[in-house]
Structure 1
Amino acid sequence: MRSIRQGKINVNLISFASILVMVTYVLLFISSASGQVVKPDDKEKDKYKKGELIVKFKPGVPEEAKDKIHLKYESKKLKKFPSINIEYVKLKESLTVEEAIALYLTNPEVEYAEPNFLFSILILPNDPYFNNLWGLDNSGQTGGTPGVDIDILRAWDITTGNSNVVVAIVDTGTDDTHPDLSDNIWTNLAELNGVPGVDDDGNGYVDDIRGLDTYGNDTDPMDDHGHGTHVAGTVGAIGNNGMGVTGVNWHIKLIPCKFLNQDGYGYTDGALECLEYVRALKEGGVNIVATNNSWGGDSYSQALYDAIDAQRRSGILFIAAAGNDNSDNDAWDFYPASYNLPNILSVAAVDANDSKAWFSNYGRKTVHVGAPGVDIVSLRANGTDMYGDGQHFIPQGNPDAEYYVASGTSMAAPHVTGLVGLIKSQNPERTWIDVKNLILSGSENTNFYGSTLAGRINAHRSLTCNQSSVFSALQFPDSFQAGMSTILSALSVNCGSPVGEVTVTSSSGEVVNLYDGGVPPDLAANDGIFSASWIPASEFSYLTFSSPAGTETVPTPSILTASLPSGLVNHSYSQVIGVSSGVPPYVWSVHSGSLPEGLNLNVATGQISGVPSRTGVWSFMVKVVDSKNSFDMRAFSIHIREIDLIVTSVSGPSSGIIGQSIAVTTKVKNQGNSDSGAFYVSIYLSTDSIIDATDRALLTFYAETPAGTEQSFPKNVGLPLVLVPGFYYLGAIADTGNRVGETNENNNSGVGNQIYVASDIDLVTTSVSGPSSGSPGQQVSITIGIKNQGSIGAGESYVTAYLSVDPTITMGDTELGSVYVNNLGGGVQQTVTLNTTIPTSLNGSYYIGAITDSRSSVAESNENNNSLVGNQISLASAMPDIILLSVSGPSSASLGKSIPVTVVVRNQGTTSSGGFYVSVYLSSDATITTNDSKIGTTYLNGLATNAEQRVTVNGQVPSKFSLGKYYVGAIADTGNQVAESNESNNARVGNQISIKKR
């Protein structure tokens, strides 16, 4: 297990280590109906908003300098966040976000620049639906374990909240008209009693009477998605009012700030504006104690980090949902929950049986607490349906319902935010530090403890905390090396107070004192997190953190095995649970639940083994403790099954035609008492009555068979073209490939009736023709006629051409090449052409021939009529043949002047040529000979077969030459340096040219 990351970390986003990204945030709620993570919009979302940038300037940079930088890149400033020195700009259309980041970072005034990242939602008073709220009071009413709740009834004996306490819901907005919420929505009295259209309280927003909508750029944060209203209801639905549900607080004030749209998505700039809006209200005197943030994403934003840290300096807790990816946040960051800031409380989801919800992220160091997050009933915003399926309304099926059931860490976080309100209501003098530490100290170390730092929250224990300590190592090095600077930190609190002194002792004997004075690397004074920088003088293998609140040795053991396979009743079972880190030896135990009957856990090795004696599903929690008493726990389940699949019958027709389909019915029975799950059934043809996997497989299909049932599977099965005609047995094998573990693996096959398989395909070669002469290495075309004399399509086949020394064509002759033929139909004739090259080793006279179905791909009724001989071909030795394809020069020239003549030369022979000369001439007629006037020559180093070359010869018109019109021409291989197959085709005439005096 690794340490918590520091707040400012190096992340390679785009191509700059210092570039931070504007994240899209997602709501963290889950579809309890489908069992899958649900996002409101299934379309792929961009990681950040195109054409926008967030820029932080260094302290002290003048406004005119900032504006000058924006002007330089033609950026338009959209928003300013002065308290954190951040500006949000729109880029010019031609500039990408990546390019803009690179440009801004070239300015020394800029601290960082990052994209605008996308984030999204993650998903008992006399109130009539209070009995549905198992998370507040669990009596087992939903099938869960009684007492697995936040102990709210005893907490309400102490306080039910206070309207002077305010929390902000940063989300999709809230339905402030909901009768079970309206009176608990905060009202900005300065704006309510002020002048309409005027910013009466001077906070920069006109008429923000009931909160803010940064997504819509207005002051009406009405919820058009439903998520924010559901969250708000858990925090503070009105209690004891005779309707609906109640929140953790009966009395509280909620400030909605909407930055997520109707699909549950929003960008960093909107989150920043919400947080700055809330912080400004706090600085203006509004008693805001916390923000609820049931949203997140996987991209690190330094700007968001800075905004949350600004909240810390203003005394505001930041409650964050841990995420819905069933992922370990100690290993994989999820933001904003994973920022290393002391005012953040990260919240996982617990189900009604006190287990981690199947979807919830977790983290022994980075997720602080768990809270109810499965099937949570709360408020429904008017006209919304978060899941879009109409199945989550309360009352169920009522489209006018005012209440809704949802699951997710989104639903867990507001239970914690609600507890913040109760603790602050009990004692208004408490700081954010007091409140956070009381929540941690009051949490219960239940089965969920191994998935979080403190366990599941308990409101009553937090309100009545007395001598309840929480101790945990937080930051420590990933690798234990001497000379490497590192930060050490630990949480050490007793109820609301820090507990010191805290020391760290290395296995090599070094002792380090940790401090909680707010001096870096410590982030906040007296918050119970003790920190220090340390450079180890020598290598070590482990560290022991100690204080009066507890002791922990790191690295702690970490269970690696994620799940355990199912087993078969009365069959041997063995599985070792993996573990890493910690200080061996380990001691294993079953912390809660029970193993399947007949299985045992080896306390020294972590091996579960034995012979299970009864079917069923067993759930249990395994705990491993190392030699330093550090531990890890993980929940497992093992399904012990009894499955026995047999083929009871296989039936089909008594005959069939190759290439056609037959109807085969296979019956499979599961003789066990457990459902089979998915398996495959294969149908075979066998030459004997023993069916096994070496027989000819005809078809494999997917099946499932419930316990104790027989199922019939009628299928149309094709008889492959490669079959040899004759008698076969039909058969089948259930669970092909042994996908399902069975009590008997030797009874899966079954044999059926015999079938005679006949062929009605007959491929013949009807014609073969090619050239009568040629040269070795020459390209030739051969035309072949083929026909299927049968009645059904032949499937895939090949026809091959040959050269033979006699008129009998066989596969032993010289092969020239093959042509693919696709499913030649019955009675169909087809002509194919093979373009091929004559082998260079051949000389003399040969017969051209062809063989149809040369690769024996098709079973035919007659296999002896595939070949045919065609014409003879005479092959001569290969020679080059050089010709001129074109000659061109200028249309006029002067005496004594140079003229360029361009010629294109080709070797159309059957072998490469050696070097040769090309000469250009002026001729009085269109016939070019060596007797004409030569005006220039060039040398070529030779040409390969079928190669062409374009050359320009600079010719010289003689100074004494008769004026008039001439022809420009050329002769290749002047002087006959190259022996050619044709010596009479070397000359070519080009255009006419006028020879003038000047």
Structure 2
Amino acid sequence: MKNLLSILLFVLVSQVALAQTERIFITTESGSSPHFPTVIGAQIGQTPFEILQVYTFKKTPVSIWILEVETDDLPSVLLRLEASPKILTAEIDADMWASDMETYDANDLHVGEQWYGENTGANGNENADIDLPEGWFIERGSPNITLAILDSGMKLDHPEFAGRIVNNTADPINNIDDDANGYIDDVSGFDFVDHDNHPGDENGHGTAVGGIAAANGDNIIGFAGVDWNCKILPVRVLDENGRGSYSKIAAGVYYAVDNGANVINMSLGGVSESNSLKNSIQYAYDNNVTVVAASGNSNTSVPQFPAAYPTVIAVGATNWFNERCSPFMLTGRGGSNMGKHLSVVAPGDMIPHLNYEDDLDYSSVNSGTSLASPMVAGLATLLLAQDSTRTAAEIKYLIQASAVDRVGPENEDSRGWDQYYGFGLINVYNALSGKFPIKTESYISVYPNPAYANGKFHLGGEASDLIISTVDGRVIINYKNLSAGIYNLPQMAAGYYVISVVAPTGFYIERFTVL
């Protein structure tokens, strides 16, 4: 009997020891707040829990609840929560990281030169750039367009951001939420890390990213951002270590959309899928907000989120030889991520940027897809400055269609879309002038891409077989003996697809997305 009691005590102690504190977050429809803790308790029974933070939004029909639960069976707790009709999603509140920037203090002659705008050949290959000066001749931005930087915050008083940070006059600093958006005195954005109205930068990542996208231009000092005139909405979602939870990042997306962002840059990512984050990205798209995200720096095809979501413009990085960064020249490590979700590439190696600790220091140089992404975000705001009626889908299409194809090594940068370069290297001039070089040389192309129910494909010549399939090989339809022309896409569910063409001149493929 004594031995039996000992065994039972051991099992009991072991079970107690297995219980641990976990951070989760749930999303609910707005308006369920007052009685919601009772709903949580009813769903998870005796499981101890503590509510850490609740985010509500003025326009977004969703609330985000961050909880700590003490349990030895977290999957069961999440399943019980999701079983409630009052709960939209229940997930582990994993962490997301800034896409790393490898750093060193450089003092070489060209450190202050933005080679990626116009490469004269002093750094790498001549014309290994995005044609910024040519683009600026057409468009330099508008204060009527707002770019949200979801990052580690920004150095709000940097002279390169003078006159550019949003000024929410509807909510002056008086400790009252005058505009009733749920965030007190959010004059210049919001800090979801410290939950206050000062999204300053304690890491440097956000200041670097914001400067590449939107530093003041033609002002004698420092650098020129891609867009010289758009308003900047800083939203701090990453801490001093460059880390941020999915819950705060999702909240940051909702906040940015509800507070006037036209474009959101997210130079961050995580490998965990999240329905809650995905829903926030879809909310942005449904409200016609373009989201641009870094693909990641692990030199892998493992998807990183939010870049892998189909409505996002996923950005890879190239160096000053137009090669995909693999590895990054600066450190000899890592590399630009690849995969079926990649949209375009932009320069992301040896990139000069602003210093969040010193207004006069323009010698910092870093590498990473984090620095490629804001170039694309800046191009998106320029396109909206040129025509503010453009939709998020049209912005993505214009950026992809105007990208320059086959600038890199043939083993990676093949004709049309490929998983290493996407649709190619962005080109500011092409995008703003309506030049789409990829269309003239493609045997098969889909437009718009991403496509909708009214999408079409253009066949440049005869095809004995034209097969539309999913990326994993499941055939949707097989056309026989088609002539050159324009055809309607069949009705297809949202997802990633491939068109394969067998033609007299060879075999051609085109990847596309259906939304």
With normalisation by structure 2, the TM-score equals 0.76
Describe the SS at the equivalent of 1:457: coil
Q: Which of 113, 117, 124 matches 2:90?
A: 113
Q: Which of 157, 170, 177 matches 2:157?
A: 177
1:676-825 residue pairs with structure 2 within 5 A? none
Contact 1:105 1:113 in 2 (8 A): yes
Describe the SS at the equivalent of 1:452: coil
Q: Which of 71, 74, 90 matches 2:67?
A: 90
**Cα shift readout 1:632-662 (whole Å, capped 9, x = no counterpart):** 9xxxxxxxxxxxxxxxxxxxxxxxxxxxxxx
Describe the SS at the equivalent of 2:234: strand
**How far did residue 85 of structure 1 move?**
3.1
**How far did residue 207 of structure 1 move?**
1.2
Contact 1:56 1:110 in 2 (8 A): yes
**How far did residue 104 of structure 1 move?**
1.6
Amino acid at match of 1:55: I
1:52 aligns with 2:23: yes
**How far did residue 201 of structure 1 move?**
1.6
1:354 aligns with 2:322: yes
Paired with 1:496 and 1:130, the residues of 2 have a C-alpha distance of 41
- 1:500–1:62: structure 2 CA closer, same or farther, 3 Å change rule? closer
- 1:178–1:353: structure 2 CA closer, same or farther, 3 Å change rule? same
Report how many aligned residue pairs link the two structures. 447
Determine the structure 1 residue equivalent to 2:126. Answer: 146
1:562-711 residue pairs with structure 2 within 5 A? 627-630=506-509
Describe the SS at the equivalent of 1:220: coil
Determine the structure 1 residue equivalent to 2:41. Answer: 71
Contact 1:373 1:407 in 2 (8 A): yes
Paired with 2:80 and 2:63, the residues of 1 have a C-alpha distance of 17
Structure 1: 5+ residue runs without aligned partners? 1-48, 283-287, 384-393, 395-399, 474-489, 515-530, 557-581, 586-624, 633-998
Paired with 2:324 and 2:110, the residues of 1 have a C-alpha distance of 25
Amino acid at match of 1:440: Q
Determine the structure 2 residue equivalent to 1:458. Answer: 427
Determine the structure 2 residue equivalent to 1:302. Answer: 275
Determine the structure 2 residue equivalent to 1:339. Answer: 309
Contact 1:139 1:147 in 2 (8 A): yes
Contact 2:130 2:426 in 1 (8 A): yes
Determine the structure 2 residue equivalent to 1:162. Answer: 142
Determine the structure 1 residue equivalent to 2:14. Answer: none
- 1:109–1:508: structure 2 CA closer, same or farther, 3 Å change rule? farther
Paired with 1:154 and 1:311, the residues of 2 have a C-alpha distance of 31
Contact 2:353 2:365 in 1 (8 A): yes
1:232 aligns with 2:232: no
Determine the structure 2 residue equivalent to 1:705. Answer: none
**Cα shift readout 1:170-225 (whole Å, capped 9, x = no counterpart):** 0000001112223322221223xx35111122111111111111001111111010
- 1:86–1:584: structure 2 CA closer, same or farther, 3 Å change rule? same
Describe the SS at the equivalent of 1:89: strand
Determine the structure 1 residue equivalent to 2:264. Answer: 291
- 1:251–1:508: structure 2 CA closer, same or farther, 3 Å change rule? closer
- 1:406–1:466: structure 2 CA closer, same or farther, 3 Å change rule? closer
Paired with 1:460 and 1:508, the residues of 2 have a C-alpha distance of 37
Amino acid at match of 1:270: K
Farther-moved stretch of structure 1 (298-307 vs 452-461)? 452-461
1:548 aligns with 2:486: yes
Paired-residue identity, %? 24
- 1:440–1:62: structure 2 CA closer, same or farther, 3 Å change rule? same
Farther-moved stretch of structure 1 (491-500 vs 92-101)? 491-500
With normalisation by structure 1, the TM-score equals 0.41
Paired with 2:304 and 2:335, the residues of 1 have a C-alpha distance of 12
**How far did residue 100 of structure 1 move?**
2.5
**How far did residue 69 of structure 1 move?**
1.8
Paired with 2:263 and 2:353, the residues of 1 have a C-alpha distance of 20
1:322 aligns with 2:295: yes
Determine the structure 2 residue equivalent to 1:674. Answer: none
Paired with 1:63 and 1:262, the residues of 2 have a C-alpha distance of 31
**Cα shift readout 1:138-182 (whole Å, capped 9, x = no counterpart):** 11122x111111101111111211222210000000001112223
Determine the structure 2 residue equivalent to 1:375. Answer: 350
Paired with 2:227 and 2:476, the residues of 1 have a C-alpha distance of 52
Contact 2:267 2:370 in 1 (8 A): yes
Q: CA RMSD in A?
A: 4.1
Determine the structure 2 residue equivalent to 1:406. Answer: 366
**Cα shift readout 1:853-878 (whole Å, capped 9, x = no counterpart):** xxxxxxxxxxxxxxxxxxxxxxxxxx
1:134 aligns with 2:115: yes
**Cα shift readout 1:400-457 (whole Å, capped 9, x = no counterpart):** 7254211000000000011112111122332223322221121111334442331000
1:246 aligns with 2:224: yes
Describe the SS at the equivalent of 1:112: strand
- 1:60–1:335: structure 2 CA closer, same or farther, 3 Å change rule? closer
Describe the SS at the equivalent of 1:436: helix
Contact 1:173 1:224 in 2 (8 A): yes
- 1:402–1:102: structure 2 CA closer, same or farther, 3 Å change rule? same
**How far did residue 351 of structure 1 move?**
0.6
Contact 1:378 1:405 in 2 (8 A): yes
Amino acid at match of 1:221: P
Greater fraction of residues in helix:
2
- 1:68–1:90: structure 2 CA closer, same or farther, 3 Å change rule? same
Paired with 2:440 and 2:252, the residues of 1 have a C-alpha distance of 34
**How far did residue 68 of structure 1 move?**
2.3
Determine the structure 2 residue equivalent to 1:911. Answer: none
Greater fraction of residues in strand:
1
Describe the SS at the equivalent of 2:278: helix
Larger RCO, structure (CA 8 Å, separation 6 or more): 2
Determine the structure 2 residue equivalent to 1:265. Answer: 243
Describe the SS at the equivalent of 2:288: coil
Paired with 2:487 and 2:61, the residues of 1 have a C-alpha distance of 36
Amino acid at match of 2:325: A
